[in-house]
Each structure stands twice: as C-alpha cells, then as structure tokens.
Structure 1
Amino acid sequence: MSRRRLGTLLVPVSGLSGTTYPEGTKVAIRGTGGSVDGFVDGDWLPLAWWEFADIKPEEAADTWPGV
C-alpha cells in the first residue's frame, strides 16, 4: 500500500481551473521526477520540481487531519 504524498507550494502556481494558489498551499502529489501532478480540491496543478517541497508524513498528520 502506498502512502499519499503531500507537499506545499514554494511559489504561486496556477491550476487548470485558472485559480492561482499562493505559496504555502498544501497539495496532494502524484508522480516522481522533474515534473509531477499536484491536486488542490480536485484542481490539477502541473508542478516542476522547484515549485513544491514534500511534507514529511509526521508533519502531514499535524496539518492534514486524517492523513
């Protein structure tokens, strides 16, 4: 069973919906490598490696209840 990977934005990023999410926004991450898929409330954010930082699982439990 794989754990859900979570991250936080390091810079503002626009989602597919046109909404721009500010630095510090928490995102669900899918994929690995230089670019990954990020999701915020169902909105897709194509992310480059420098646009986000991973959140450690123990930190995610504090900021994302139920994770």
Structure 2
Amino acid sequence: MAAPTVRAAGGGRNVAQRLGTLLVPVPGLSGTTYPAGTQVVVRGQGATVDAFVNGDWLPLAWWEYAPVRNTTPEPGSAT
C-alpha cells in the first residue's frame, strides 16, 4: 500500500506521510514532552523530519524515531 500524501500548505509539493514511534522523549512545540513509545505521524525524509502528535509539531532527528512497519499484508502477497 502506498503511503498517503498530503499537499503542503500554500499548494507546495506533495509530501509522503507515514507512522513512526519515538525512541527517546521529545518536546513538542506546545511544551509537552512525549515519552519514548509515542506514535507520531512523520512527514519528510532525510536527517531531520517533521512529526506530529494530535497537531503538535515535533522536529525530529533520524535517531529519535523508528518507522512503524505496515503489518497488513499486501493483496496477493504470500501469508
């Protein structure tokens, strides 16, 4: 299944969106610190990405999160 895309504000380029899990506690823009294990929505790619928890922005470095693997089998894949 392809990752959903979101159009950037202002009509910018499409950005892939995926799920991740925090590996360390990370403070959000709101001042709330999210503990390791919190699921986040990740946008972008590279050494730093934007992540969100209920609309709260968390700028993340590559080592602060792990991608969540898709556990739903693709149609037609071996089970």
Q: Same fold (TM over 0.5)?
A: yes
Gaps of 5+ in 2: 4-16, 73-79
Gaps of 5+ in 1: 60-67
Give a deviation string over 1:1-44, Cα, whole Å, max 9, x none.
x5141000000000000000000000000000000000000000
* TM-score, normalised via structure 2 length: 0.70
The structure showing larger relative contact order (alpha-carbon pairs under 8 Å, at least 6 residues apart) is 1
Paired residue for 2:7?
Answer: none
For this pair of structures, how many residues does the alignment match?
A: 59
Identity %: 66
Q: Does 1:8 align with 2:21?
A: yes
By percentage of residues, which structure has more helix? 1
Q: List structure 1 segments (4+ residues) > 6 angstroms apart after TM superposition.
A: none
**Root mean square deviation of aligned Cα:** 1.7
The one-letter amino acid paired with 2:18 is R
